[in-house]
Structure 1
Amino acid sequence: MNLLVRRLFWISFAVCGTVSLVWGHDVGEGDLKVTVLAKSSDAWDDKPLPHYPTGQPEITVLKIIIPEGKKTPLHFHSVINAAVLLKGEVDVHMPAGETKKLKAGESLIEVVDKAHWGENVGQGDAEFLVFYAGEKGEKITHVLHGDETPEAVLQEANR
């Protein structure tokens, strides 16, 4: 089986493991309902996602809470990831001014190797469930300090 197909299978399994129950049922049979929350080869900025790495795949699933009125530090992800906002309202920003507004129940295919931050603009905590598809041992999130850029951080890490 082709490496890309194998990785896509495992990502699908991690994100929608319970959906496999549906495959044994006819449409409309039973109480199961399936909703596709996100499916794309592009990130939220409409740019194509990078190819998967060639090493041992590693899936990470995180629950991230941004308290009311707070924001994440400027950061980037070096792996493909997707999130579902379970609770709250969040605006995701990139330094050039692009913004993606999210409300509870909406999903996001995150940008890769691009600086951004999230800001809780709603009432109460904002709660994300995030799925990262990376390579075993690879760092998934890099916080940027001062004038650092994703390119400089990755170049330094590869030395």
Structure 2
Amino acid sequence: MSIRSSLTALSLILLLGNTSSVSSKEVSVKTLAKTSQSWDGTELPAYPSGKPEITVLDIVIPAGTELPMHLHPVINAGVVITGELHVTKQSGEQLILKSGDPIVELVHQWHKGKAVGNEDVRIIVFYAGEQGKDITVKKH
């Protein structure tokens, strides 16, 4: 073992403290989405050039509720935690999402969502926006 790897191991032990109390379970990483396209295959736009602002929302849509037609002027992605969500573009193209499914949302495209079934939809969504700018625009 090299001096560098010995120091790294020592650093980890010091960071973790008493390693006998650390769980024997291993850390697991699963990629849910990695893409440069939204769910309909459209290329994502460049990130904004202004001051970046990340927004993370925990959204609950009651069962049977349909959101109004809207668009997102920024890149955003999320994961459905519970329920079933139907996302429909203005053209009628639809994406059906269930618990555990990731979504890379449409950018600059009108769409709406509906919580289908008897269970509320809970979705965690991350927006890569620009400070002072809207992340969602409703259609009037």
Tell me the TM-score range normalised by the shorter chain.
0.7 to 0.9
CA distance in 1 between partners of 2:30 and 2:73 (Å): 28
CA distance in 1 between partners of 2:84 and 2:116 (Å): 6
More strand per residue: 1 or 2? 2
Q: 2:134 aligns with which of 130, 136, 139?
A: 139
Q: Which residues in structure 2 correspond to 1:1-159 (within 5 Å)?
A: 30-145=25-140
Q: Which stretch shows the higher mean deviation, 118-127 or 104-113?
A: 118-127
Q: TM-score when scaled to structure 2?
A: 0.81
Q: Which runs of 4+ in 1 moved over 2 A?
A: none
Q: TM-score when scaled to structure 1?
A: 0.71
Give the deviation of 1:76 after TM superposition.
0.4
CA distance in 2 between partners of 1:130 and 1:82 (Å): 6
How big is each residue's C-alpha offset from its partner over 1:134-154, in whole Å with a ceiling of 9 and x where there is no partner? Answer: 111110000101xxxxxxxxx
Give the deviation of 1:81 after TM superposition.
0.1
Q: Using a 3 Å threshold, how does the CA distance of structure 1 residues 33 and 69 change in structure 2: closer, same or farther?
A: same
More helix per residue: 1 or 2? 1
RMSD of Structure 2 on Structure 1 (CA): 1.1
Unaligned 5+ segments in structure 2 are: 1-23
CA distance in 1 between partners of 2:54 and 2:117 (Å): 29
CA distance in 2 between partners of 1:45 and 1:116 (Å): 12
How big is each residue's C-alpha offset from its partner over 1:88-117, in whole Å with a ceiling of 9 and x where there is no partner? Answer: 001100111110000000000000010000
Figure out how many residues of one structure are paired with residues of the other and give that number.
Answer: 117
CA distance in 2 between partners of 1:107 and 1:122 (Å): 19
Unaligned 5+ segments in structure 1 are: 1-28, 146-159
SS for the counterpart of 1:102 is strand
SS for the counterpart of 1:96 is coil
